[in-house]
């Protein structure tokens, strides 16, 4: 029992530390406002760096963070199921449980990304019909 609790705590800690984004470099942004590339993009109408963040950008960032978290959870399930399969030692019931966990994790990931793809498609179609074609 203690070994199982230790394994779960170890996996949760591993996922937490691997999900941290460390940045050891403190460098300037590659495209300053005075660079030629910035001026060319501005003249072409791509002032993305100058526009203010909207609610849609905020929601997009939340969705991106949630999808990243779901990917980490999926990886954790796959590692745990693989671990269960490896320590099964030929016990068919444990192997079946591990296979079931792997199948459920894959099905869940497919459902989540299908829902994201459908939502992205519908929102793109709605913005096309409400705002107009991007080339107009």
Please report which confidence band the pLDDT of residue 81 belongs to, taking 50, 70 and 90 as the band edges.
very high
What is the model's pLDDT at position 51?
Answer: 58
Domain boundaries, the chain: 54-136
Question: What's the mean pLDDT in 8-32?
Answer: 63
CA pair distance 121, 31, nearest whole angstrom: 31
Report whether 40 contacts 116 (CB < 8 A). no
At 90-132, the pLDDT tens digits run 899 999 999 999 999 999 999 988 988 888 888 777 777 766 5
Say what the pLDDT of residue 85 is.
93
Of the candidates 114, 82, 113, 76, the one whose C-alpha atom is nearest the C-alpha of residue 95 is 82
First and final C-alpha spacing in the chain: 65
pTM value?
Answer: 0.53
**Cα gap 74→103, rounded to integer Å:** 11
Cβ atoms of 11 and 18 within 8 Å: the answer is no
Q: Give yes or no for a contact between 63 and 116, defined as CB atoms under 8 angstroms apart.
A: yes
Backbone phi, then psi, for 51, in 5-degree steps? -75, 155
* Cα–Cα dist 116/110, whole Å: 10
């Amino acid at each position: 029992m203690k070994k199982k609790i230790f394994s779960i705590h170890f996996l949760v800690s591993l996922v937490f530390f691997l999900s941290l984004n460390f940045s050891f470099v403190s460098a300037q942004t590659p495209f300053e406002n005075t660079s030629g590339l910035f001026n060319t993009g501005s003249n072409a109408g791509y002032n993305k760096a100058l526009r203010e963040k909207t609610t849609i950008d905020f929601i997009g960032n939340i969705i991106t963070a949630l999808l990243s978290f779901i990917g980490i959870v999926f990886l954790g399930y796959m590692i745990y199921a693989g671990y269960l399969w490896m320590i099964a030692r030929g016990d068919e019931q444990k192997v079946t449980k591990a296979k079931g966990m792997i199948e459920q994790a894959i099905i869940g990931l497919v459902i989540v990304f299908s829902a994201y793809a459908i939502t992205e498609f519908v929102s793109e179609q709605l913005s096309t019909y409400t705002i107009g074609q991007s080339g107009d």
